[in-house]
Amino acid sequence: MKKPMKSIIAAAVIGISLIAGFSFAYAGNEKDELKSDQVTFFGSPTSAISSSVAIPNSYNRILFSGTVAPLLKKDGKTTYERYGNTEKQAIGILEKLKAELKTKGLSLADVTYLRVYVAPDPNKGDAPDYQGWFEAYALFFNTKENPVKTARSTVGVESLVSPDYLIEIEAEVAYKNNGRQANK
């Protein structure tokens, strides 16, 4: 083997070994965090979302059904006048979720997981407007006011129950049962 090829192989072996070592060290730390009595979010510090969330048995959970945007203007002539674009609809849904959580003595900081369905937007070439959703999410999560980064799935779908709806959001919430109970 030529000398440059040996150097490349050696560098690759060292690099892979370092990555594996860091991965095992990080995995060991995550294993310890699973023993926590608090909700624990895992993932890259640079990501806007968590890759996973551990919820201890001492927590209760609430699951919110798919929620769609509130009506903005009943006599609007277009989807955008009646409900807004994807970002505006997502903001409306997250505001509804925030209000519903407040009635239960909870907040968006208790949200652990979001499942999001994004339908094609005629103004975006009949493609889902993922960026609009991401921008709305960034107003409510991973912020100074709410540093929680939920685990999340975002799925493009063919349509939702009404052609006016461009996005639908389901939420999973966890809260500790220590006097901070959700109302019926």
At a CB cut-off of 8 Å and minimum separation 6, what does 88 contact? 69, 72, 80, 136
Is the same domain home to 138 and 49? yes
**Do 91 and 13 lie in a common domain?**
no
Nearest residue to 65 (alpha-carbon basis) of 178, 172, 179: 172
* Coil, strand or helix at 78: coil
Same domain, 77 and 158: yes
| d(C-alpha 164, C-alpha 180), whole Å | 37
What's the CATH code of the domain at 87? Answer: 3.30.1330.40
Q: Same domain for 57 and 86? A: yes
- Both 25 and 112 in a single domain? no
DSSP for 4-52 reads HHHHHHHHHHHHHHHHHHHHHHHHHHHHHHTT-SS-EEES-TTSSSBSE
Q: Considering just the CA atoms, what is the radius of gyration of the chain in Å?
A: 21
Residues 135 and 110 both lie in one domain: yes
Q: Do 19 and 99 lie in a common domain?
A: no
pLDDT per residue as tens digits for the range 137-183: 999 999 999 999 999 999 999 999 999 999 999 999 999 876 544 54
Please count the structural domains in the chain: 2
Specify whether 99 is located in the same domain as 121.
yes
d(CA 86, CA 129): 6
Q: Is residue 46 part of a domain?
A: yes
Mean pLDDT of 109-135: 97
Note whether 77 and 168 are same-domain residues: yes
Tell me whether residue 183 is in a domain. Answer: no
pLDDT digits over 65-114, tens only?
Answer: 999 999 999 999 999 999 999 999 999 999 999 999 999 999 999 999 99
**For helices 130-140 and 86-103, angle between their N-to-C axes, nearest 10 degrees:** 30
Assess if residue 83 is contained within a domain.
yes
Residues 59, 2 share a domain: no
Quick one: 5 and 54 in the same domain? no
CA dist 181 to 36, 43, 104, 171, 174, Å? Answer: 21, 28, 7, 18, 11
- What tokens appear for 82 in the block? 């009646």
Dihedral pair phi/psi, residue 33, rounded to 5°: -65, -25
Give the model confidence (pLDDT) of 21-40 as tens digits: 444 444 445 566 566 678 88
- Domain range holding 6? 1-33
Assigned domain for 144 exists: yes
Q: How many angstroms separate the CA atoms of 94 and 134, rounded?
A: 12
In a domain, 182, yes or no: no
Does a structural domain hold residue 133? yes
Q: Are residues 141 and 172 in the same domain?
A: yes
Euclidean distance between CA atoms 123 and 129, whole angstroms: 9
